[in-house]
Amino acid sequence: MPSDINIPSGDDTSSIGIESMSILEVEDIIKIYKTGKIETQALRGVSFKVLPREKLFLIGPSGSGKTTLVSIIAGMVKPSSGKVFWKGLAKDITRSSLEEIIKARRNFAGVIFQDSRLLPHLTVEENVELAGYYAKVQSHIIKERTEFLLQFLGIWDKRNKKQDTLSGGERKRAAIATTLITNPTIIIGDEPTGDLDVRTAESILDLFDKINEELGIAICIVTHSQQVAIRADRILELKDGIVLGQHSSQIHLRKLDKSRLLSVDRQSRLAIPKPILQKIDNPKHFSISIENKNIVLKPITDTNLFNNNTPSRTCMICGNLEKTKSNFCSNCGAVITQDSEN
């Protein structure tokens, strides 16, 4: 590696505009798409953080909001509400101008999508250099860094070739080089290997590992692939626009129930996975209690929801189903103000 190329360590948080050690913070993101009179709630309050050098992958069924979320964290789509903080920008990007976002993104994020393309009339080397010029990297750095990256990514011998004479994997490596020319803190991607065959995808995934380990760049990508998911430090599972849970890298995408840790979000919501509810006949109501520091949810069927003449009321503080006439919750002592719903 040329000595004056400053590859970020990824853990310098001195210029971070947020309080913690994270490099990216997402708070309560809501995204509603409006098409005519139809509204689609793609994200319903998503919060998470990415740590320096972390490999965080986003999974979830089609339509769960993954593409919307990465587009928002990359500063390419504005959320309806919520905040996104990037390391190095003291301001919430959702309140920043397009100009501020483009400028900050140069140093912060390399964005790579499935159909990332090169300019067809330029060589690989020219494409990478052009990305550097657009990002206003100093010209003597561009030359050195382009050489370093093309060697690092294993395509130095393809530097004079144009897109149409490259294989899918070589094109992808070249596209990755264009995103790395600015020395980003994180790579953000949506299915970056989705268009490649299994073997080529594997070699690109090896490359993401190498970028993460040797250049200290964090990775945050969407994937449907088991191949990808086993390489993560942490996996966020989206479902219907919320974070259903988190997984460590020991997962099988078809057996997520075995590895899922449920997440309580910033609104204290905890989503119960549908298969679990189906196993106990889809109850709509639960009583909640704490036993030995465990939360115990007991399903209540509609027939025993109001099983005596005293109307039951749910304590808004602890969720206890209060069956006495008392105005105080017999579980936590809070004042009960609201009737339980049918």
Residue 223 touches ligand ADP, criterion: CB under 6 A: no
Q: Of 116 and 183, which has the nearer Cβ to ligand ADP? A: 116
Which one among 66, 145, 173, 239 touches ligand ADP, defined by CB under 6 A? 66
**Which among 254, 256, 208 is positioned nearest to 228, based on CA atoms?**
208
Rounded to a whole number of angstroms, the minimum distance from the CB of residue 190 to ligand ADP is 7
Least distance from C-beta 35 to ligand ADP, angstroms? 5
With contact defined as beta carbons under 8 Å apart, do 40 and 33 qualify?
Answer: yes
Nearest-approach distance from CB 43 to ligand ADP, in angstroms: 8
Handedness of CA 134, 138, 142, 148 (dihedral sign): negative
52 binds ligand ADP (CB under 6 A): no
Q: From CA 53, how far away is CA 9, in angstroms rounded?
A: 8
Q: Is 64 in the site for ligand ADP (CB under 6 A)?
A: yes
Considering beta carbons, is residue 113 or 152 the nearer one to ligand ADP?
A: 113
Using CB under 6 A, which residues numbered 16 to 35 contact ligand ADP?
33, 35
Note every long-range contact of 127-132, with CB atoms under 8 Å and residues 24 or more positions apart, other chains counting.
Answer: 127/174, 127/177, 127/178, 128/174, 128/177, 128/178, 128/181, 129/181, 130/178, 131/178, 131/179, 131/181, 131/182, 132/181, 132/182
Distance, in Å, from the CA atom of 137 to the CA atom of 107, rounded to the nearest integer, reads 10
Q: Which of 34/279 has CB closer to ligand ADP?
A: 34
Distance, CA of 281 to CA of 330 (rounded, Å): 28
Which of the stretches 55-63, 131-139, 180-188, 317-325 binds ligand ADP when contact is defined by CB under 6 A? 55-63
79 interacts with ligand ADP by CB under 6 A:
no
Binding site for ligand ADP (CB under 6 A): 33, 35, 40, 42, 60, 62-68
